[in-house]
Amino acid sequence: MFAIKAEVSDPWAETFAFSAQKTMYGGKHIAKGDTIFVFASENEGGPGLIASGVVTSAKAIAKKRGIARQTPRVSITIRRTALAKRRLGRSELKLFPTGTTVDPRPSSISNSIVRQRTRSSASRMKRRRSSAGSFSAAVWI
């Protein structure tokens, strides 16, 4: 399973096409037939998780010469299989929501913890490919 966070112009579209998107946590290995969760970027005004789908095409973008560190990029097309039935964005995922509870830890420590949790969640998702069924019952229409 994979996830993509990008600007989405039509959250209810039957198919999504993303060109030269940055990848992380092994996203450069995405292939046709893989399950993917689509997040409409909240930085671009989106609500967070909007859909799940199946990758119908995937193409790795070649790295540019002369640049030492580059984030791998892929172009993918996704066929939507389900819509999210409720909002699942940053505010729903934060352990300490802004304005309601003050996080006593310095932000660098909090950010480190969030990154560790995200990485361990990604590795658990890879190990348990069948977990999508239980997740589907709670989040999808």
pLDDT in tens, 56-95: 999 988 888 888 888 888 999 999 999 988 777 777 666 5
pLDDT of residue 118: 55
pLDDT of 125 above 70 = no
The average confidence (pLDDT) of the chain is: 75
Q: For 43-60, how does the pLDDT look when each residue is reduced to its tens digit (9 = 90+)?
A: 777 788 899 999 999 998
Domain containing residue 80: 2-139
Ramachandran category for residue 44: left, alpha or beta (phi over 0 → left; psi -120 to 50 → alpha): alpha
The total number of structural domains in the chain stands at 1
More confident residue, 69 or 135: 69
Stated pTM of the model: 0.63
**Selection from 119, 48, 118, 117 nearest residue 89 by Cα:** 48
pLDDT higher for 42 or 31?
Answer: 31
Strand partners, 58: 76
What's the pLDDT band for 33 if we cut at 50, 70, 90? very high
**Residue 126 binned pLDDT confidence (cut-offs 50, 70, 90):** low
| Tokens standing for residue 13 | 């579209």
pLDDT bracket for residue 1 (50, 70, 90): confident
